[in-house]
Structure 1
Amino acid sequence: MNRIQCADPDLVGILTKLNTYDYIIVGSGFGGGLLADVLASRDKRVLLIERGGLLFSTHVLNTSRPFYGRGSSNSAEGNESIYDDVKAKVRCTEGSDPYIGGPVYCVGGRSNLWGIWTPQISRKTLEAWFPPEIVAYLLEKRGKNNKDGYQDAFDLMTANSQAKEIYPEGSGQMSSSEIDEVRAKLQAAVPGSSFDLMPVAAQFNSSAAYRFPQGAYSTTLALVNRMYANNRNLTMLLNTEVLAVNDAKDGDSRKVVGITIRDTKHGTIRTLDIGSAKVILSAGTIGTATIALNSGLQKLNRKVGCGIIDHDVCYSRFAKLAGGGGESKPVNMKTFMQVGGQDCLVTVTVNANFFLAGSSTSLPNTQYYGPDGSIIDPRVGRENEHLFDTICVLFEFVGHLNDGNAVLGLPGADPVLCIKRPEQPAAVQQDMDKLVKGVRDAFVWGVDADISSELAEIAAPKVSRLGFGVFSHECGTMRMDGPGRSDGVVDSNQRVKNFVNLWVSDLSVFPVSPEANPSLTLAALALRLADHLEPAAEVTPPEIPPVLLPLPPQDG
């Protein structure tokens, strides 16, 4: 199997000198893996360099499952233990806040583990921070299919399997009336809000969505398919760490002429002459910054490696004894709103198993409520196998880049960060507490319930702030220009300034850590970059005359 998976580095070095490759992409996650697959599909020769090998597990999201195990410890999203086991070590300098995330070195990168939630970034955040041409690409419909960039990315990630039936409506799992019932509770809990379904990037091969999912989207499937098929357009050089890009003057600009790589298994180092290939760094916010710093790109722009931020994430979770019909059906609702004067994505899940909400999590529920709304001990009556509905309220705030935060170019075995997070304003905590209390009241007692004074005095579950990097949404170390700003490391086409053949395709180009999970936006930007580099050919289907069949004989 290793013979199938691994290209020979020595032969790859010979081929790069011969201008065999049109593109060399470093990193195979949402930004690089998707880009590599699209460019290869457009008949371009791509060399994809990945620091790790293959990661196969029953808990990686793109693994097929015969049944969506709602609420069970081995459900599709119950994979935080796998992430904790496979993520690479990242250290922090003295005086830094701790960092609890980390890159994953394998084919597909962190797309194996995260990214099933695919909300769009709010228009307000996009227009405030991203270049106008990117905002237009993401939000404005165009082309023969009359779709915007977000819809193109979602259709790709779901293999068009949700084109007619968006999860979970019409799936046989949950009816529109049941969704409306949850929405009514949320709108009563948060007056003036507008909650709708959280889009989920999962592919289905059954008419009953979420009964036979092929798995959540990751880049692994497409890349491995090409690898095993010996696809002529894609070469994958695995277990190979890119240390630096080597450049030279090209008129008034600069040009990458070589790449220094290290074999992670044997420790040998060599330089690949890249010929006429174009280079795209997609090693992630930390990895790409490390490569750029090792390459001296900070001498051209002092923002290289600086600004790293992940948005603040806070949550509260509680459980209520389920009714006679058993656990409620799983649903995940979201809304954009201001919390304490700050832009926020508020997500409320009911029995929707994920990092903070399902039974697989190691974090305990704050409170358990009985049928009358009183707090109970969940261990009492355990012999009767009582079931609980788990409700989680999640707050994700916009994270603004901080130039004092940085990936440090230190020559150690692991990346080193210096990060500081601002304290949360009291108004934010007060608004979160108020919102959680409203959600608790609506789900525990009901919208129109007459609550006794004794029960009404029960404090709402505590809202907790999570550590930096917990959701792996770090952004900003190779930021792009934005409205009224021209100090970015890359331009609006993600090309590194002052270079003629170097681009970046990962979260490092984000000029802000948005309130929404960024995987859909990154996928859309990868598609946009593919169109910029190699526009898709307009294919007109051939006209095929209809087949005329003889009419069946008529009786009589």
Structure 2
Amino acid sequence: MPTTRPAPGDNPYRIHLAGSATCLGLDSAYRVILDEFVEDRASQKWFIQFDDSTDTFTTRNASGNQRLVVTSDGSMIGSLAEKATVWFITVHTGPFSYSTISKNGSTTDHVIDTADGTAHLLQAISPEPAPRQRYIFEPATATDPAPVSCTNPKNATKFERTFFNLTVDKAKAMGPYDIIVVGTGIGGGVLARDLYETNSRLGDKAKSILVIEKGGLVFHSHCLNTSRPEGLGNNRGQQNDTFFAVFKEDYNIELQDSTEPLVHPSTWKGGPMHCVGGRSAAWGLFAPRVHDKTLNAWFPETVERDLIDIYFEEAEKLFNLSLPATRIIHQQVMERLNITAKDAFHVHWQWGRIASEFKDSKNFDFAEGAYSTIDKLLEIMMSKPPIASDPKSNVRDEHKNFKMLIGTEVRKILLDDTTKVATGVVVRPANGGAEEMIELKKGGTVILAAGSVASPAILLRSGVELGKEAGHITDHDILYRALSFRYRSPGDREDVGAMKLQTYFDMDFEGRFGLANMSIDASSFLPRSKTADKNLPQMIMAFILPCALESSCSITLEGDEPKVVMIRTQEYSEGERQKYLKRMEDITKSAIETIESQLDVELVNEKDRDGEYLSYLELGGVAHELGTLPMPNRKGDGGNSIDENLKLKGHDNVYICDLSIFPMSPEANPTLTLAALSLRLSRQLVPREKFPPSGAETIRVVNHSGEPIKVWVSNFGSDMAPLEIDPTVLLEGDDFSVERQSGVPQSVMVFRMDKLKKAKNGEEKVEKVEKVEEKAENEEEKVKNKEKEEREKREKRKKDVIFSNEPELFVASPGCHKPVIVL
């Protein structure tokens, strides 16, 4: 037993045998095993609930909150369905003191046996502590940050406590809400950002929004905008996959393989990232559009039209889509690649579309770098107003209509038994704890953006019958070839630099198009080729292929947690596969020949390779698993879980907005398409209303600035009219109109104010200006009256001839018939 008792609380512990590095953990089947400790493996960390009054404790696993249970046959497992086994601590005294444990009040001490690789609880043979009965409980927080808890913010970092200080209790008290968004990845994060910006234009018409994220603030931006481990810079390019591999978590997944050579033995590389921003914190930044032919063949017609006409471009602007600087050599390479390719390939090589701003647009502006949803969400939280009772305090109040709760897991949606309308969500701390309810307003909306596994799991826990059309999690096939090369003139390497190119290509199968990626001397998500010299530059060709959702894949609940069964797509027959493999091999060979000649390079060890020309990437290699709650498929097969507006079938106020929604697995990275669909959903839920055109004689002002403004309309209709119509204060979302006088030139003047206090100051300034102008007008009127009096006097004098005492000009009034004489 522990040398010191584990302290109660939310901090995880490692449990290992004394004098051994092996630790208790869970395998993928939730069996307890003893294994070498791995630093970032959550399944080897345990939360201890200790009862000091009874000298007992229970244990639950940090990876999925599974309770440590001993079954009737002595097996040790992690379970969400069964009650946790209660362990009793007994202190022994004698020549030496020690503690032992017993199960559920038994008087017999026990040891853990792992002879067959899994853990069993056996009766101790010796009265003295057996070697496998001396357990050490070490706080995992010594090297790992404590998990964020929405009910215990003190566990969070000071940064989190300052800007993400909302707790479940506070969120409940501030509710109910018009909109609850679950998840902050590309789907939920883009949606939340757009709703916030729309809200800022609506004033009193704004919707109350709550965003809930299971994870904490791991990154402050995309991982590539932060510091990176030393040595990665020696390999040109991104290396975002290094961070993804460290911070992702694992599904409870069962991988199934088909017969060779269609599917090679696979390992799983995907998984969720539970943090603010989700997987947008470490995605690869390639942002191509789904090909028009793919949209036309698979996606609903209205979705296809909206994406092409509006939302692809909107998403690209949001992503700060950039193209690298093109030198002459780059242009020559792309031209020759396109000219030398066969017409049947239908290729058009160009720079890869990267979601990053590489350069500042003008002096003293900073490039925004790689895109993630974190930046805007963090900006919103950092701009929260100070608390009214203490404006100088660092503690921030919540935005009136936008709140964000982190470290909180949504377990289920509360649904009315009769109407199936969502009335709220059930949440708990991400590291386990009591479940609580957060209410939704009548007529409100819940948007699940928790990911392609977590979103269907939430619905299943909520009692939603998903049907046979759901759960078909699919990852498209990616095939690649990696080659090492060297420049014949070493200095050319710096001149050329890194290149990442992309093109669609004709698969030579049913008119389908795939996407080809070429990486030249730049990092890639794909494995590097094996060469003796790791410093050699690499050329990597990768092909992403579209496919239907794979019906053999499934998501079910096992102990209230999702279990994933996955297999590679079986859509293509062996003959069809060989056909498009030949096409991709021909494209690769054509590209290699062009690169060799244009860049004057030679390949290394290429002739020594054997086996198939292209290799398969592991499942989940680029984290594109999708399609578990699909929208309608234009082909009419497979069924759908949501409609074309992403609303869950049979539920009027539940929407899905993550990779679950895809009706097929496209040839492109799905991130841009998901962001575009997220923007589309946002504008449908809270429209950015455009006022109808006014008549030619109407002046209309609508305040979409997000701040109070004051409006004046000038009026030059007549000399006697006031110069301006009385000023009008417009709050966010307000509008103002006035009828013009025909043929009279007028203008609109707007004074922008950050706060109503400024508006008040503005009114005082206006009043002062008006008083000054009124005084000036009075003075001007006095001058005019005086001048009028002088004119009248002069006119009167002109009626008669006036002689002076001195010889001078004789003046007669107009119409005078007397002679004009000059003396």
Aligned-partner Cα distance in 1 for 2:664–2:580:
20
When residues 131 and 325 of structure 1 are mapped into structure 2, their CA distance, relative to the original with a 3 A threshold, is same
Task: Write the mapping of 1:478-493 to structure 2, written as runs, cut at 5 A.
Answer: 478-483=629-634, 485=636, 487-493=639-645
Unaligned runs of 5+ in 1: 141-147, 357-362, 368-376, 380-386, 547-556
Secondary structure of 2:224's aligned partner: coil
Aligned to 1:91: 252
Q: Partner residue of 1:6?
A: 165
Q: Using a 3 Å threshold, how does the CA distance of structure 1 residues 456 and 468 change in structure 2: closer, same or farther? A: closer
TM-score (norm 2): 0.55
Match of 2:212 among 32, 45, 49: 49
- Match of residue 401, structure 1, among 526, 549, 559: 549
Identify if the C-alpha distance between structure 1 residues 540 and 46 changes in structure 2 by more than 3 Å, giving closer, same or farther.
Answer: closer
Question: Does structure 1 residue 155 correspond to structure 2 residue 317?
Answer: yes
State how far apart, in whole Å, the 1-side matches of 2:222 and 2:197 are: 29
2:543, 2:431 → 1: CA distance? 41
Deviation, structure 1 residue 64: 8.6
Could you give the per-residue CA deviations for residues 164-214 of structure 1, whole angstroms, max 9, x where no partner exists?
xx412xxxx433x333212133225532222222211113452499x9642
Q: Which residue of structure 2 aligns with residue 523 of structure 1? A: 675
**Structure 1 residue 61: Cα displacement:** 3.4
Partner of 1:200: 354
Q: Distance in 2 between matches of 1:438 and 1:75?
A: 25
Partner of 1:365: 529
Maintained 8 Å contact 2:518/2:539 = yes
Q: How does 1:32-47 map to 2 (within 5 A)?
A: 32-43=188-199, 44-47=207-210
Corresponding residue number in structure 2 for 1:511: 663
For the pair 1:411 / 2:559, whether they are aligned, the reply is yes
Aligned-pair CA distance for 1:71: 8.4
Instruction: Quote the Cα distance in structure 1 between the aligned partners of 2:485 and 2:366.
Output: 29
> How far apart, CA to CA, are the structure 2 residues paired with 1:109 and 1:396?
23
Within the candidate set 305, 308, 333, 2:501 is matched to 333
What is aligned with 1:259? 425
Distance 1:316 1:57, change over 3 A: farther
Does the 8 Å CA contact 1:61/1:218 hold for their aligned counterparts?
no
Report the Cα offset of residue 314 of structure 1. 1.1
Shift of 1:51: 0.6
- Tell me how far apart the structure 2 counterparts of residues 229 and 50 of structure 1 sit (CA, whole Å): 19
Question: Per the alignment, in what secondary structure is the counterpart of residue 233 of structure 2?
Answer: coil
Deviation string, structure 1 residues 410-447 (Cα, Å, up to 9, x no partner): 12656433434337622233333332222222212449
Q: Deviations over 1:440-462 (max 9, x none)?
A: 2221244999x9xxx99776994
Task: Give the match for residue 375 of structure 2.
Answer: 221
Residue equivalent to 2:628: 477
| Structure 2 partner of 1:318 | 483
Shift in CA distance, 258/492, structure 1 to aligned 2, threshold 3 Å: same
Q: Deviations over 1:67-89 (max 9, x none)?
A: xx998347662121211111111
Structure 2 unaligned spans of 5+: 1-157, 200-206, 258-265, 385-398, 691-701, 705-710, 712-746, 751-823
Contact 1:262 1:269 in 2 (8 A): yes
Higher relative contact order (CA 8 A, sep 6+): 1
Which residue of 231, 237, 256 corresponds with 2:405?
237
Go from structure 1 to structure 2 and tell me whether the alpha carbon gap of 1:201 and 1:110 turns closer, same or farther (over 3 Å shift). same
| In structure 1, C-alpha distance between the alignment counterparts of 2:283 and 2:420, rounded to whole Å | 36
Deviation at 1:285, TM superposition (A): 0.8
**Shift of residue 137, structure 1, vs aligned partner:** 0.7
User: Which whole-Å CA distance do the structure 2 matches of 1:448 and 1:107 have between them?
Assistant: 46
Q: What's the secondary structure of 2:492's corresponding residue?
A: coil
What per-residue deviation string (whole Å, max 9, x for no partner) do you get for residues 149-174 of structure 1? 1111110121xxx6xxx412xxxx43
Change (3 A) 1:459 1:205: closer
Residue 298 (1) aligns with residue 465 (2): yes
- Provide the residue aligned with 2:335 in structure 1: 184
Residue 81 of structure 1 pairs with residue 242 of structure 2:
yes
Alignment partner of 1:347 is 2:517 = yes
Q: 1:58 to 1:151 in 2, by over 3 A?
A: closer
Classify the secondary structure of the residue corresponding to 2:409.
Answer: strand
Tell me, yes or no, if structure 1 residue 279 matches structure 2 residue 461.
no
Relative to structure 1, the CA distance from residue 343 to residue 70 in structure 2 (aligned partners, 3 Å threshold; closer, same or farther) is: farther
Partner of 1:402, secondary structure, is coil
One-letter code of the match for 2:248?
K
**Worse-superposed segment, 184-193 or 487-496:** 184-193
**Cα drift, residue 48 of structure 1:** 0.6
Whole-Å separation in 1 of the counterparts to 2:581 and 2:449: 36
- The answer as to whether partners of 1:130 and 1:511 remain within 8 angstroms in 2 is yes
Question: Any conservation in 1 of the 2:483–2:606 contact (CA below 8 Å)?
Answer: no
Equivalent pairs counted in the alignment come to 491
Partner of 2:101: none
2: CA distance between counterparts of 1:459 and 1:247?
A: 59
Q: 1:137 pairs with 306, 325, 333, which one?
A: 306
Query: Per-residue deviation at 1:313?
Result: 0.7
Change in Cα spacing, 1:167 to 1:420, as seen in structure 2 (3 Å) is: closer
Give the whole-Å Cα distance in 1 for the aligned partners of 2:669 and 2:212.
26
Measure how far apart 1:47 and its partner are.
Answer: 0.5
Q: Which amino acid in 2 is paired with 1:93?
A: E
Q: Decide whether aligned partners of structure 1 residues 213 and 3 sit closer, same or farther in structure 2, where only a CA change above 3 A counts.
A: same
Cα distance change of structure 1 residues 117 and 70 upon mapping to structure 2, 3 Å threshold: farther
Distance change in 2, residues 1:61/1:364 (3 Å): closer
Give the Cα separation in 1 of the matches to 2:678 and 2:457: 21
Partner Cα distance (1:94, 1:205) in 2: 43
Aligned residue type for 1:320:
F
Whether the aligned pair in 2 keeps the contact of 1:351 and 1:389 (CA below 8 Å) is yes
Verify the 8 A CA contact 2:477 2:568 in the aligned structure 1. Answer: no
Output the CA distance in 2 between the equivalents of 1:346 and 1:223. Answer: 33
C-alpha spacing 1:414/1:134, structure 2 compared with 1 (3 Å): closer
Indicate the residue corresponding to 2:67 in structure 1. Answer: none
Backbone CA RMSD of aligned residues? 3.2
Amino acid at match of 2:182: V
Q: Which secondary structure state, in structure 1, belongs to the residue aligned with residue 485 of structure 2? A: strand
CA distance in 1, matches of 2:666, 2:606: 36
- Structure 1 contact 340–427 (Cα < 8 Å) conserved: yes
What is the identity, as a one-letter code, of the residue corresponding to 1:507?
L
Contact 2:193 2:376 in 1 (8 A): yes
AA of the residue aligned to 1:80: D
Cα separation, 2, equivalents of 1:482 and 1:86: 34
Q: Identity across aligned pairs (percent)?
A: 28
Once structures 1 and 2 are overlaid, which stretch shifts more, 537-546 or 214-223?
537-546
- Per-residue CA shift, 1:367-420, capped at 9, x if unaligned? 6xxxxxxxxx547xxxxxxx7442211100002102221112212656433434
Structure 1 residues 188 and 320: alpha-carbon distance in aligned structure 2, compared to 1, 3 A threshold: farther
Match of 1:360 in 2: none
Aligned residues of 1:87 and 1:105 also touching (Cα < 8 A):
yes
Counterpart of 1:472, as a letter, is A
- Whether 2:554 is the aligned partner of 1:390: answer no
Match of 2:204 in 1: none
- How far the C-alpha of 1:509 sits from its partner, in A, is 0.5
